[in-house]
Amino acid sequence: NAGVTQTPKFRVLKTGQSMTLLCAQDMNHEYMYWYRQDPGMGLRLIHYSVGEGTTAKGEVPDGYNVSRLKKQNFLLGLESAAPSQTSVYFCASSPLGRVDGQPQHFGDGTRLSIL
């Protein structure tokens, strides 16, 4: 019963490098989300997807791209990493329709450091 799995859990990058964070969910959820968490800022929505093949911008989308080619996967890309993108990244998913319990299921986060 994996839920939401994020890969990798930790990563250190140099400024200008690129990388992709992978989020996979096995609950057949329609919605998926990427957040970043910075000290004193709570979680802020980067991008989200309401279904396979769709993506939309959240509160802080600049510098990131996303893709949802398969329903179970949601990828977050950094094309040219900057120190300001040092953060903890969370992926979440939720089912379509009325909220019956947990609104979103979260992964365990990815700690990303940009030097």
Partner 1 sequence: AQTVTQSQPEMSVQEAETVTLSCTYDTSESDYYLFWYKQPPSRQMILVIRQEAYKQQNATENRFSVNFQKAAKSFSLKISDSQLGDAAMYFCAFLTQGGSEKLVFGKGTKLTVNP
Whether 93 contacts 105, CB under 8 Å: yes
Stretch that binds partner 1, among 20-28, 70-78, 79-87, 88-96 (CB under 8 A): 88-96
How do 19-25 and 73-78 pair as beta strands? antiparallel
How many C-beta atoms lie closer than 10 Å to residue 4's C-beta?
Answer: 22
Chain-centroid distance of CA 16 in Å reads: 20
Site for partner 1 in 9-38 (CB under 8 A): 31, 33
Instruction: Report the SS3 class of residue 101.
Output: coil
Stretch that binds partner 1, among 10-18, 41-49, 65-73, 77-85 (CB under 8 A): 41-49
CB-wise, 50 or 115, nearer to partner 1? 50
| Of positions 12, 108, 113, 115, contacts partner 1 by CB under 8 A | 108
| Of positions 45, 60, 67, 71, contacts partner 1 by CB under 8 A | 45
Spatial CB neighbours of 37, under 8 Å, sequence gap ≥ 6: 43, 44, 87, 88, 89, 90, 109
CB-wise, 19 or 43, nearer to partner 1? 43
User: Which residues of the shown chain bind partner 1 in the complex (CB under 8 A)?
Assistant: 31, 33, 40-45, 48, 50, 56, 58, 88, 90, 92, 94, 99, 101-104, 106, 108-109
